[in-house]
Amino acid sequence: MKHARTSFVLLLAVLGVMALMPAFAAGTAQPITITMYSFGHNLPSGAPGKPGPDGMTHDAILPSDIVVQPGQQVTIKVINYDEGPHTFTVPSLNLNEMIQGGNEDEATGKVTPVTTTFTFTAPDKSGTYRWHCAIPCDGHAKGWAMTDSKDGPSQDGYMAGYVIVN
Model pTM? 0.77
Residue among 89, 87, 14, 83 nearest 49 (CA): 83
User: Can you give the pLDDT at residue 17?
Assistant: 45
In angstroms, rounded to a whole number, what is the distance separating the alpha carbons of residues 86 and 60?
Answer: 10
Amino acid at residue number 127: G
Number of helices (H), then strands (E), belonging to the chain: the values are 1, 13
Q: Give me the phi and psi of 12, to 5 degrees please.
A: -65, -40
DSSP codes of every residue in 15-70 = HHHHHHHHHHHH-S---EEEEEEEE-S--GGG---EE-TTSSEE-EEES-EEEE-T
pLDDT in tens for each of the 166 residues of the chain?
Answer: 554 444 444 444 444 544 444 444 445 678 888 888 888 765 555 555 678 888 888 889 999 999 999 999 999 999 998 889 999 999 999 999 999 999 989 998 888 899 999 999 999 999 999 999 999 988 878 889 999 998 888 999 999 999 999 9
Residue among 26, 19, 25 nearest 62 (CA): 19
Query: In residues, how long is the chain?
Result: 166
